[in-house]
Amino acid sequence: MNKISDAVISRLPRYYRYLDELRQQNVERVSSEELSRLMHVTASQIRQDFNNFGGFGQQGYGYNVQSLYEEIGKLLGLDTNHSMVIVGAGNLGRAIANYGNFKNRGFDIVALFDQNPALVGMKVGDAEVRDIETLYDFVKENKVEIVALTLPKEPATEIAEKLIDCGVKAFWNFAHTDLSFSDDIIVENVHLSESLMKLTYRLFENQKQQKNEE
């Protein structure tokens, strides 16, 4: 299979979400035109995206919702279980641990870690907050592959490097810095404030436009 572009990969989870909704509404088949209307993207974009993965079946008759949902889930690695720990048990870490949907998608949050003794021992969802001192041994013993970093930027790089030595393969990074390691280590940097700035950019553009029209 050719290397798939990052833009296409970014759209897969969105297809997955819409197909999940259709599936829950007992819709059996969906055409690219119907998906197009629902998702506000063009039907040709959808067909092009799907062609990267062999097209997912007969286009003329539309797609089978359940099997398309499962195929995309497999592509996203959601048919296997992933164990994940969260480093940083503040509000953001706890928000993620409490998010029930992750479990349905095969993400098993096995523990949270924090340096704050007041948080250690607290139950969050099905997981417990543990002392950050025990993080590295825990990750090795439990063969944890994915770590969510919900902590300040200062310690993030050092902690991530130590975790790589313990076998961690992927970081979901919310610390306010871009982490980047060798190619075999996956990093997904989430910068919440940057999405808010995109919003204010567009808000500001709209306001300028309205002033021009007045």
Q: Which of 104, 102, 123 is nearest to 112 (CA)?
A: 123
Count of residues engaged in binding a copy of itself, rule: CB under 8 A: 55
Told to check if 13 binds a copy of itself by CB under 8 A, we report: yes
Told to check if 78 binds a copy of itself by CB under 8 A, we report: yes
Contact region for a copy of itself (CB under 8 A) — 63-71, 109-117, 158-166, 191-199? 191-199
Told to check if 2 binds a copy of itself by CB under 8 A, we report: no
What is the DSSP-derived secondary structure letter of residue 21? Answer: H
Q: Which residues between 95 and 134 bind a copy of itself (CB under 8 A)?
A: 95-96, 98-99, 101-102, 105, 107
Told to check if 186 binds a copy of itself by CB under 8 A, we report: yes
Which of 76, 164, 166, 179: binder of a copy of itself (CB under 8 A)?
76
Write down the least CB distance from residue 143 to a copy of itself, Å. Answer: 13
Cα(100)–Cα(92) distance, rounded to whole angstroms?
14
**E-only strand ranges, the chain:** 29-30, 63-64, 82-87, 107-114, 123-124, 127-131, 146-149, 170-173, 186-189
Burial code (b: 16+ CB inside 10 Å, e: under 16) for 26-59 equals: eeeebebebbbeebebebeebeebbebeeebeee
Told to check if 204 binds a copy of itself by CB under 8 A, we report: yes
Please give the distance of CA 198 from its chain centroid, rounded to a whole number. 19
Told to check if 182 binds a copy of itself by CB under 8 A, we report: no
Which of 91, 117, 118, 158: binder of a copy of itself (CB under 8 A)?
91
Write down the least CB distance from residue 137 to a copy of itself, Å. Answer: 23
Contact region for a copy of itself (CB under 8 A) — 26-34, 46-54, 158-166, 179-187? 179-187
Q: Which of 116, 60, 70 is nearest to 91 (CA)?
A: 116
Token duo for residue 176: 């306010």
Interface residues toward a copy of itself, by CB under 8 A: 9-10, 12-14, 16-17, 39-40, 75-78, 80, 82, 90-92, 94-96, 98-99, 101-102, 105, 107, 145-146, 169-170, 172, 176, 178, 180, 184, 186, 188, 190-204, 206, 210
